[in-house]
Amino acid sequence: MRLGGLLLATAILGAACGGMAEEPSTTATDIDTDRTQASTAAPTTALPTTDSATPAGSAPVWFGDHISVDDCFDDTYDEDGEWYFAEMPVFVDCEVLHDNEAYHVFTIDDGTGSFPGDEAFDDLAAELCRAELATFLGADPDRGGIDWWWGWPLEEQWDAGARQAFCAAYLPDAHMIGSMRGVETGFRPAELPAVAPVPAGAVYDDLSFSEDGDRVASFLMPPSTLEEAIEAALAAATEAGLTPTGAGRSGSVFVFRFEAEGVTYPVTVYEQTDGEIEWWLYFPSE
């Protein structure tokens, strides 16, 4: 899991925090604000405040005011290819390939009107976004490869009236397709072939490359014995319409081979030293 070491990242349209490197600050102009907020008001969360002066000039639009729970949106980048939000992000249907999914929005307001400060925002969001992600996923957010970040308004945006903050989930090493809500019901990274079997209750963990250049997707199996995990993996393969072509074993590592449309998909099921059972699928790179 790659959830440790959350780094503060400030972008012109708000502060975003999570497993990402520090982002550049730029000036935004001509920002598209043609997006409505959810009709249900976001919950209000109080923070300690610090005195702050109102900067001169108009503040850039805070795109977080236009995000609702279950919104999916893509990353944006500057001219150097660095991640940042210098304009309203592109919102897309969650059933198509995307980078982020908003799973919690909340309003910051303690009644004083003073800007709380980035440290206070960061402290609140780290705890709140983790707890809300567990509810959204229906799974332990520290188990598997799903990461998250959070965003809040800059001080000048706060002084202009922005109060909404949000939490968003993403995959550090893959894109997403489908919603992460209730992730144990079948969420998969977009790069995984449509015919790939995902055992029921398995939690996505990682997407990498093998020494031979194939892609390797790994999932953490739900708590079970190795025998039960193997049965679940075989059942998923059968349900996906794959044809078994071979099997082997080396100690506690079980390897199965399946075929679909002329492509072979090796599946490995094994138990780690900590008792966690992993399921790996190998598939050709495109």
Give 257 or 197, the one with higher predicted confidence. 257
* Beta strands across the sheet bearing 277-283: 203-209, 215-220, 277-283, 263-271, 253-260, 243-250
Q: Where is pLDDT greater, at 162 or 183? A: 162
Classify strands 44-45 and 100-108 as parallel, antiparallel or unpaired: parallel
Distance CA 18, CA 175 (A): 17
What does the pLDDT read at residue 208?
A: 87
Per residue, the 3-state secondary structure of 95-115, as one string, reads CCCECEEEEEEEEECCCCCCC
pLDDT tens digits, 214-257: 888 888 887 788 888 888 888 888 888 888 899 999 888 999 99
Question: For residue 186, what pLDDT band results from cuts at 50, 70 and 90?
Answer: low
Closest to 61 measured CA to CA, from 32, 39, 23: 32
pTM: 0.69
